[in-house]
Structure 1
Amino acid sequence: MFRLTSDATVNSIVIKDGGLLVFGDDKDGSRNITLRTRYILIKDGGALHIGAENCRYKSKATIALYGKSDEGESMPTFGKKFIGVEAGGTLELHGAQKASWTLLVRTLNSSGLTFGSHAFEKDFSRGLNVRVIDQDTAKILEIERFDTHEYHNESRRLQKFLRDQDPGRIVAIAVGDSAVKSLLQGTIQMIQDRLGSKLIQGLGYRQAWALVGVIDGGSTSCNESVRNYENHSSGGKALAQREFYTVDGQKFSVTAYSEWIEGVSLSGFRVEAVDGVKLHLLDDVSSWKPGDQIVVASTDYSMYQAEEFTLLPCPKCNRFQVKVKETPQFLHMGEIIDGVDMRAEVGILTQNIVIRGEMEDSCYAENQCQFFDYDTFGGHVLIKKNFTSVHLSHVELKHMGQQHLGRYPVHFHLCGDVDYKGGYRHATFVDGLSIHHSFSRCITVHGTNGLLIKDTIGFDTLGHCFFLEDGIEQRNTLFHNLGLLTKPGTLLPTDRNNSMCTTMREKVFGNYIPVPATDCMAVSTFWIAHPNNNLINNAAAGSQDAGIWYLFHKEPTGESSGLQLLAKPELTPLGIFYNNRVHSSFKAGLFIDKGVKTTNASAADPREYLCLDNSARFRPHQDADPEKPRVAALIDRLIAFKNNDNGAWVRGGDIVIQNSAFADNGIGLTFASDGSFPSDEGSSQEVSESLFVGESRNYGFQGGQNKYVGTGGIDQKPRTLPRNRTFPIRGFQIYDGPIHVTRCTFKQYVPTPDRHTSAIGFLMKNSWQITPRNNISLVKFGPHVSLNVFFGKPGPWFEDCELDGDKNSIFHDTDGSVTGYKDAYVGRIDNYLIRHPSCVNVTKWNAVVCSGNYAQVYVQTWSTQNLTMTITRDEYPAYPMVLRGINQKATFPQYQPVIMLEKGYTIHWNGPAPKTAFLYLINFNKNDWIRVGLCYPSNTSFQVTFGFLQRHNGSLSKMEEYEPLHSLEELQRKQSERKFYFDSSTGLLFLYLKAKSHRDGHSYCSSQGCERVKIQAATDSKDISNCMAKAYPQYYRKPSALKPMPSMLKGLCQGCGTRQVVFTSDPHKSYLPVQFQSPSQAETQRGDLSVISINGTDFTFRSEGVLLLIVDACSVPFRLTEKKVFSFADVSLMEEYLKTSIPPRSIVLLSTRGEIKQLNISDSLVSLGLAKPANLYNKGSTIFLGFSGNFKPSWTKLFTSPAREGLGLLEQFVPLQLDGYGCPRAGTVRRRDLELLKQTSKAH
């Protein structure tokens, strides 16, 4: 054994044959040991130990891996700059335990101040420049300039301006150029009296003077400075500065200055946070220490708003607080907004065991310097099969990874089973790692099963971060990991951005130029190449493309290529997916779709190996056997917000999403199955018990590479946008089918003059089918949903809105919760294939609501490129539907119109009639029928056959020949038989499509197979086959409704919408929804009520005064302990009550109504959570949330508005039974996440 006790630099280290390298430690953790080496190789009984799991390392240990890519030897398999573990090797690194990451629980504002900082500087701003600052919030209230040099009236205006200021206001004044020529004595006196100035009386011509004071604060509150002026060469700055605290406890300074610089007069102001900014956090972070580095995630669309901070000493911080040195540049949300948890993730980067790569100052040699101007040749840790033991906990890895395959910060390489199944008594794990500022992924799981990755952070890395590589990795568990700022890299096509994709063509065939959107651009924080893995409590907080991407390999790839999989990824049931959050990614928060190309580039397919591929379809079945029952994939508790395109895009067989929330996404959720038929016959997708918010009160923050800004939301305020101003925001997007939306709530979908915004919408520019079996039930729309559904209109993004899928958009409103008409179908307003005279038009939706029974007919033709089909219902010949077909250039065009059953239709073409056509009965129940007449030249002869097609193998069964009849009347009498009638006078071949067999569940076809009619036509005619002119009016029928239109429902939908009010990432905790409705003076006079609502229970008050509600903070469900109303005359009684009568562990909710000249309760509110007495003078409205107890929670807040103004609607979610409240223990809180983690460990 060798015990390292001091710094050392060596060329390399090989530990083998029982060798043991241990880093020395001591009781007080005072050692600081750095080992520099080109590599460390551990094998054949060798071991490296820094600390142990039950005896953690206390000192500082650093392994610095040095060397350049173009110098020194390269070791087989491992390369350069590595820690490698081969068979028989042991690597045990265990640093001091620290909380890995948590969430903000109070919003961190840009500059650290609620209303931002203020900075102003200007030359020759003559006179007295003035700022008025709110003493409680640091908000700039007024900006003025008074030219008291030139005009006496300006002096009088300044005098009145100061007279009108409320006591306690902060005033800053700075001279620009000169201010005294017309400065009246009365104004001087006013400045002395109200601001305590001692220098204004003697101020001379062009003297620089600055003051910061408090209205009626006297001379002790005033700081001022003056500098003499002699000539243009005069210098020196008159600087005045004072420091204050907000009611939230943030220290800030107000600075005014005036100076002459080389004959130029400058004046300016600054209002800024000082002495650090305090962060309020969800969990105990007492393990974080001064000097540690942390990262705070973006809570906007751009991942580049993530920020790093250094912790400062903070003796007054409790265990849920830290103070940071740097000033925040962006806003980081720390609230539950509109019921959705948008609180920023905050992670620790500093650990006391560090593995880092030593870097050059810039990129060099063959290290993709055309894409990176910095050195990307970092260190790496590589673990190979049959290691003896590997456990890494609380280790920092910085400048790790290389832009070369197989060189990652942590890489488990073809290790097989690394848990009990692989013979390891102590299952392998990585826990509490912080991987940051690294150059190739975070953790790569390659051909490895049963690994636990827990509490690990991956920040500012290149390429997929948490990466499952070859499509064979299973049973791995990712628990409570955080990945953010996942940037593009070069290794695989899916890692690349646009420019990398089109530039890197060495591995394509010939002159092929990759298409970035379809070949590349899939960078994901969690890249899950096999569904049989577990994701619990993870956060994907910003990636170029996707947060979590499940993809499906057709066969093993890479070094696993050729291995026979017992379970194919496409067919394998999904592992556990519970309580994950995804935000700040462009393509999607969660993406379940596609695979990678598993063949090399060739003339037949010139794309690069492992580029993105669209052939895979997820269809989970028991034992991965398609002949066994389907197993629904469960996505339980997903929070997706601020993703530019989709909160979630999900394609597959049976998939259920529940207990989830989608907010501020371009599109909340899209379900997809497949184009013509679902790949997994009988499957469907469902979302239930979920919340969709169009545009929340998280307005975002410009900058940090946010691309899109405009107005929106219920208040039409400026905000960041997911796409440009014309993009049609949608909550749930219907595509393919069948889908089911039930017990969901939609809120805040408000259009703007530039765009449509709807709760429910459809995939735009859709050429594929949409099934009428899509259904929606028990949904609820909030008051700020202008369009429950929208079918699109020609214009930006929709283009001409004339593709086949656009025209056939439809869904079934089973209970009327969307339209008000029970058992109704909703389609596009111009679709006359589905109409009858009693249908109801909803013009603003571009929709029609109809009763009836509906199905689809799937028409496929052979060898008829660019053929357009026109289908007309006999009742509406003036309104035909023209279908372009799916991929007009295909050899076998296909058309899939939705039709009303028990009606007659004719079909026509814009070219010669197809000689071979197939008609499939799609979504027909037994005995459902339609009559069709297909247009052909009058001299055509036919062979018409029926059969059941088995889609999985293409076989046909129960073939029958159709026989011709001599009249349509005879055909109508024999519609159940296999007969056809050709009317040569009109050119129409008539036959009935009638389902003979039962259809099960969501299957598109019958239980016997797809009922299919094949028409073989013999004709030499090249004429266009359009029989419309001859068909009508001969075959016209008067429109009728076969199913009566229901009456419109009355009243609110009972039991509709999700039963959950709040969706958080800590579902084991209880949050109390509280809303305040605070009207303005005008609204009060109009009779509007003032309301405090607690968990949906309204407490209203009409008379002027104060409503006070006291709630027990320890009771779930909530328990109101006191309700009191105080008139303004009884304010003194209220003050006494607040000081003496509120029980400990109580939540205090206070709201005023009416004009308040002086609410003398400021001192009482300090005892309930404010950092200082607030100015409650001359307020329009006051709202306060406080807590009675020894603990000061982060959620205590004060809101005030100016005289005559209200505060409108305010919403807060107050946590119950917090640790700091001191609540009596009410039993163990059930932690579903920990139960699932335990379940996975047993499975391992």
Structure 2
Amino acid sequence: MLRPSRRTRAALAAALLVVADCSSDTTTATPIEPPLATARWSDAASWPGGVVPVAGADVTIPTGTAILLDVSPPPLKTLVVAGALEFDRRDLALTAERIEVAGTLRVGTESSPFMERATITLTGTPDATAPDLGLRSKALAVMPGGTLDLHGAPRVGWTRLAASVPLGATEITLERAVDWHVGDRIVLTATDFDPAQYDEAEVTAVSGSRVTLAAPLKYAHWGAKQTIAGRTVDERGEVGLLTRNVQFRGDSACAGTGYCAHIITFKGGTMRVEGTALYLVGQKFALARYPIHWHVADDVTGQYARNNSIWKSFNRCITVHGSHAASVEGNVCHDHLGHGYFLEDGVEARNSIVGNLGVLGRVPAAAERLLASDSRPATFWITNPDNTVRGNVAAGSMGFGFWYALPEHPTGLSTSAAVWPRHIALREFAGNVAHSNKSGGLNVDDGPMADGTTETTNYAPRVDPAQESAAVPADFRDFFAYKHRARAVWLRGRALRLTNAVLADNGIGATFAANDTYLQDALLIGETANNATAFPAGFPVRGFEYYDGLVGAQRVTFANYLSSARGPASAFGFNRKNAFPLHPLNFAEGARYENANHVYIENPVADKDGDKAAVFLDKDGTVTGTAGRYVAANVPLLLTTGCVAQTEWNAYVCGGGYGRLEVRSSIDGENPAPATVTRDDGVALALAGAGNSPASLQLSVPLARGYTLALASALTQPRIGLWGVKPGDWVRVSLPYAGTSVVVYRDYYTGNKVTAAASLAELASSNGDKYYLAGGVLYLKLMVQANRDYTTVHVTGAP
């Protein structure tokens, strides 16, 4: 009786385990597909002229012909499959410069994976005379009507450590038993700040969940769960499998040139790739030359790249370009240049990016970047929010983990599409993990422009993306980010939510350059037991960082934010060296603490007006102990009688309300800054101008006070506003006025004329409907009217 080989038996057992793990009562068995061919490659009768292809041959399998590859042929030049080519169930190797599939190329099927060893190697150097469209050397191109089926043995693609591993270890314990083999290559992700602290290793023995390695590890890897503030914090390192029994690769020579193999699928083609290792792939600094690539393929429902290993890529990992409904699931991509899992233009929608692991995104040389943003490569580069991004891990990029880089309209080949990515609702972002990334864990900002550079981007989803319409909150759920020296999360936009996040061991937990955007039901941890590397001395570690606004933190627990000899730490803080204005109603509510200093605010930088505007509202008393109190920076203009110093916070707790006072001119080039603002009790503040621009002043001020503005020059058409306030709130201002006559109206409506007062006393007793002009000085009272949260005054020089 014939017995299958040990490798075949192990692979079959793994397949049965996978089926058992994924089975359900409603699962319908996939029918086993019959062989495509009985005519054998090795049989001369299978070929025109009775000659089996020789080395260097250009081979075409014509339409209507099906060949069974039963031998490893000599290296070919080109292979065109217009009919069908199927790998026999034996160890095989196929080598060519180029493969074009207009019929079917099959290595196993979904229902009957290939259990032996199959290697497809693409060779050659750049050939400018060959046809383009991805068909030059080192290309496997799936043409319209073509089908590529690569189905390797089901394997455990990646898992996590079950115990920490010290530097020099030669054995690791995993969270589950694995079906890995002696000789397999694996990668262990960094679990500290530096993404370069990964390890590649060779397996020499496997016993259940214990794996023995051929050489000592170069780095330590964290592998323990922790319980902090009642929640599980899982910073265990991932371990990914790089070896598969089916391999698609470039030749060894391409490792030195970066001109390696790639798969491209065009519209009308079908690609199903699973259980395959793609090694020495991608072509450096070449558009459309990615390891796996749907190229402007439109709807690709039913097509997938799943449970593959992509290793040593010179150009991204998996690219979905102008294509929709692709399944990109369970893959491992390690050591890639530029962005990794890549949605190219911004038109791509309904794709499923689930359960993938990305390790070590490298920065291409400056002259070899397809996009300027490749200087900060993202493991997951998402240009359209209408995609499912769930359960992925970005484990160590030289740039970002996840980057929602939303263009105003799609770029590249999709520029004509009437699509508005910056206003499309978020389909799903849930359960993703980012750690050990140099630039940050999640960046929602910096969308691409047509020229490939990026610009500041506001993501503001709404009911109708193409029209001004109601906002639709975008909820980034269940995100876990750890070990970022800088910031874990940066969101810019409107109506964004970061819900149920765990952010641990980050220099800054979350910053929102946004409006109507909130951190909710989260756990933020300043330091865990995974603390081999400290933050730089003096750096103020903080959990939630106030910026812009209106933003807030709701029902957030802060743990282990304690100042020490190393430097300050706090639950709440402000964006450092900030020149831009802040919303005076930025807030906290429902905060909880475990070993955490509540607040730390640095002293302001002299030319950064935003530093001098730092206040936030404690809505319910969970920061200051009294509901409705404000926390204010150590800036005299922000402080009034009754403010109480909090030494450990380097800040004050104050009882009065604040508003944001803005001063600018309607005349271009007529600038109010630099300026000095003096309160009615003589307290003064020097200002450089909002955003370090002389065009406007924007500052936080205590309400119900008077302010004298000494401007860079007298204005002829000043525009003054008070924001973040409620009906009845007011301030008085005086400023030099250069006009000879004056017309004043308020709240944007020219019918709301403000009339002249006979005296300063009459102005003071008014409800904001008076002004007073004397000696080249204009005196105004800004009072908020009913049903408004602002008031404005516009001054013109003529009726």
Fold shared by both chains (TM-score > 0.5): yes
**Which runs of structure 2 are paired with 1:1048-1059 in the superposition (5 Å)?**
none
Structure 1 SS opposite 2:521: strand
Q: Could you list the per-position Cα deviations for residues 1195-1220 of structure 1 after superposition, in whole angstroms to 9, with x for gaps in the alignment?
A: xxxxxxxxxxxxxxxxxxxxxxxxxx
**Which runs of structure 2 are paired with 1:738-749 in the superposition (5 Å)?**
738-749=550-561
Structure 2 SS opposite 1:570: helix
Aligned to 1:203: none
Unpaired segments ≥5 residues, structure 1:
26-30, 113-276, 363-373, 420-426, 502-518, 599-608, 674-682, 701-718, 795-799, 950-956, 1006-1010, 1019-1244
CA distance in 2, matches of 1:348, 1:60: 16
Aligned CA distance change for structure 1 residues 74 and 399 (closer, same or farther; 3 Å): farther
2:773 pairs with 1:969: no
Q: Of 144, 162, 176, which aligns to 1:105? A: 162
Q: Of 776, 779, 787, which aligns to 1:998? A: 787
Aligned to 1:5: 70
Aligned CA distance change for structure 1 residues 539 and 381 (closer, same or farther; 3 Å): same
Aligned to 2:640: 836
Give the drift of 1:996: 2.4
Structure 2 SS opposite 1:524: coil
2:766 pairs with 1:981: no
Structure 1 SS opposite 2:503: strand
Aligned to 1:663: 504
Contact 1:906 1:935 in 2 (8 A): no
Contact 1:83 1:381 in 2 (8 A): yes
Aligned to 2:117: 60
Aligned to 1:399: 280
Structure 2 SS opposite 1:623: coil
1:341 alignment partner AA: D
Aligned to 2:30: none
CA distance in 2, matches of 1:92, 1:361: 25
Aligned CA distance change for structure 1 residues 9 and 76 (closer, same or farther; 3 Å): farther
Give the drift of 1:611: 1.4
**Which runs of structure 2 are paired with 1:1129-1208 in the superposition (5 Å)?**
none
Q: Could you list the per-position Cα deviations for residues 534-553 of structure 1 after superposition, in whole angstroms to 9, with x for gaps in the alignment?
A: 11110000111100000111
- Aligned-CA RMSD value: 2.2
Q: Of 291, 311, 318, which aligns to 1:436? A: 311
Give the drift of 1:310: 1.4
Contact 2:524 2:558 in 1 (8 A): yes
Aligned to 1:588: 440
1:1014 alignment partner AA: H
CA distance in 2, matches of 1:401, 1:333: 32
Aligned to 1:931: 732
Q: Of 948, 959, 971, which aligns to 2:751? A: 959
Aligned to 1:1012: 792
Structure 1 SS opposite 2:690: coil
2:248 pairs with 1:355: yes
CA distance in 2, matches of 1:408, 1:452: 17
Q: Of 87, 100, 119, which aligns to 1:23? A: 87
Aligned to 1:549: 403
2:366 pairs with 1:561: no
Structure 1 SS opposite 2:570: strand
Aligned CA distance change for structure 1 residues 640 and 47 (closer, same or farther; 3 Å): same
Give the drift of 1:852: 2.1
Q: Could you list the per-position Cα deviations for residues 1199-1242 of structure 1 after superposition, in whole angstroms to 9, with x for gaps in the alignment?
A: xxxxxxxxxxxxxxxxxxxxxxxxxxxxxxxxxxxxxxxxxxxx
CA distance in 2, matches of 1:751, 1:837: 28
1:868 alignment partner AA: P
CA distance in 2, matches of 1:900, 1:75: 66
2:291 alignment partner AA: P
Q: Which segment drifts farther, 375-384 or 689-698?
A: 689-698
**Which runs of structure 2 are paired with 1:1055-1074 in the superposition (5 Å)?**
none
Q: Could you list the per-position Cα deviations for residues 513-550 of structure 1 after superposition, in whole angstroms to 9, with x for gaps in the alignment?
A: xxxxxx76321100001111111110000111100000
CA distance in 1, matches of 2:483, 2:784: 47
Give the drift of 1:829: 2.4
Q: Could you list the per-position Cα deviations for residues 223-264 of structure 1 after superposition, in whole angstroms to 9, with x for gaps in the alignment?
A: xxxxxxxxxxxxxxxxxxxxxxxxxxxxxxxxxxxxxxxxxx
Identity in percent: 31
**Which runs of structure 2 are paired with 1:256-275 in the superposition (5 Å)?**
none
Structure 1 SS opposite 2:772: strand
Aligned to 2:53: none
CA distance in 2, matches of 1:11, 1:780: 67
Aligned to 1:813: 618
CA distance in 1, matches of 2:777, 2:509: 46
Q: Could you list the per-position Cα deviations for residues 758-805 of structure 1 after superposition, in whole angstroms to 9, with x for gaps in the alignment?
A: 22111111111111211101112222x3x42111036xxxxx355111
CA distance in 2, matches of 1:443, 1:278: 32
Aligned to 2:678: 872
Aligned CA distance change for structure 1 residues 69 and 625 (closer, same or farther; 3 Å): closer
**Which runs of structure 2 are paired with 1:498-509 in the superposition (5 Å)?**
none
Aligned CA distance change for structure 1 residues 495 and 336 (closer, same or farther; 3 Å): farther
Rg: which structure is higher? 1
2:427 pairs with 1:617: no
Q: Of 680, 683, 691, which aligns to 2:523? A: 691
Give the drift of 1:964: 1.7
CA distance in 1, matches of 2:613, 2:190: 40
CA distance in 1, matches of 2:81, 2:369: 38
Give the drift of 1:295: 0.8
2:145 pairs with 1:304: no
2:707 alignment partner AA: Y
Aligned CA distance change for structure 1 residues 818 and 802 (closer, same or farther; 3 Å): farther
2:579 pairs with 1:767: yes
CA distance in 2, matches of 1:657, 1:539: 17
Give the drift of 1:632: 0.9
2:455 pairs with 1:573: no
Q: Could you list the per-position Cα deviations for residues 828-851 of structure 1 after superposition, in whole angstroms to 9, with x for gaps in the alignment?
A: 12233x433222111332211111
CA distance in 2, matches of 1:865, 1:37: 68
CA distance in 1, matches of 2:692, 2:592: 40
How many residue pairs are counted as aligned between the two chains?
726
CA distance in 1, matches of 2:171, 2:691: 58
2:282 alignment partner AA: G
**Which runs of structure 2 are paired with 1:247-262 in the superposition (5 Å)?**
none
Aligned to 1:386: 268
Aligned to 2:181: 289
Aligned to 1:327: 216
Aligned CA distance change for structure 1 residues 326 and 72 (closer, same or farther; 3 Å): farther
CA distance in 2, matches of 1:959, 1:9: 87
2:738 pairs with 1:886: no
Higher strand fraction: Structure 1 or Structure 2?
Answer: 2
2:276 alignment partner AA: V
Q: Could you list the per-position Cα deviations for residues 894-939 of structure 1 after superposition, in whole angstroms to 9, with x for gaps in the alignment?
A: 1122222222222222x331222101231232332222222347xx
Aligned CA distance change for structure 1 residues 661 and 492 (closer, same or farther; 3 Å): farther
Unpaired segments ≥5 residues, structure 2:
1-65
Give the drift of 1:859: 1.2
CA distance in 2, matches of 1:493, 1:685: 37
Structure 2 SS opposite 1:530: coil
CA distance in 1, matches of 2:177, 2:330: 15
CA distance in 2, matches of 1:72, 1:624: 45
CA distance in 1, matches of 2:561, 2:793: 45
CA distance in 2, matches of 1:300, 1:617: 31
Structure 1 SS opposite 2:727: coil
Give the drift of 1:644: 2.0
Q: Could you list the per-position Cα deviations for residues 387-411 of structure 1 after superposition, in whole angstroms to 9, with x for gaps in the alignment?
A: 1x32111010000000111101001
Give the drift of 1:959: 3.4
CA distance in 1, matches of 2:442, 2:545: 15
Structure 1 SS opposite 2:701: strand
Contact 2:716 2:737 in 1 (8 A): no
Give the drift of 1:356: 0.5
Aligned CA distance change for structure 1 residues 399 and 279 (closer, same or farther; 3 Å): same
> Which fold has the larger relative contact order, with Cα–Cα distance below 8 Å and residues 6 or more apart in sequence?
1
1:295 alignment partner AA: V
1:905 alignment partner AA: Y
CA distance in 2, matches of 1:415, 1:581: 30
Aligned to 1:1096: none
Aligned to 2:545: 733
Contact 1:793 1:801 in 2 (8 A): no
Structure 1 SS opposite 2:610: helix
Give the drift of 1:580: 0.4
2:212 pairs with 1:408: no
Contact 1:87 1:385 in 2 (8 A): yes
